[in-house]
Amino acid sequence: MSNQNLPPNPLEAIELVKRVVDTAKAALPESVSADLRENLKAAIEDVIRDLETVTREELEVQKAVLAKTRDKVDRMEQTITELERRLAED
């Protein structure tokens, strides 16, 4: 499935899918909608996979890595500032 026709924002894509589902539910009898619901669920899962989303766990891991990196950069900046101060004194 190509994601060329999907909205660029995942929230917009989800909203679009909700509108499609609501329209389909209103237009079809209940007996058909159960079958349709399963097909739409599979299609929605495909769309979400195409959006290249990450799991909550992956996001939390990346946030931890970023925080650690930010801390390291801050310490390096302090070291550089201190070294520049020492050089200026000499």
Tell me the pLDDT tens digit for each residue of 34-77: 777 788 778 877 877 777 777 889 899 999 999 999 999 999 99
Q: Is the pLDDT of residue 90 over 70?
A: yes
Domains contained in the chain, number: 2
Q: Are residues 49 and 80 in the same domain?
A: no
77 in the same domain as 39: no
Give pTM, 2 decimals.
0.46
- Asked whether 44 and 52 are in contact (CB, 8 A), the reply is no
- Residues of the domain holding 32: 1-53
Residue 33 in contact with residue 41, Cβ under 8 Å? no
Residues 40 and 71 in one domain: no
Q: Are residues 47 and 61 in the same domain?
A: no
Measure the CA–CA gap between 13 and 47, rounded to whole angstroms. Answer: 8
Same domain, 46 and 77: no
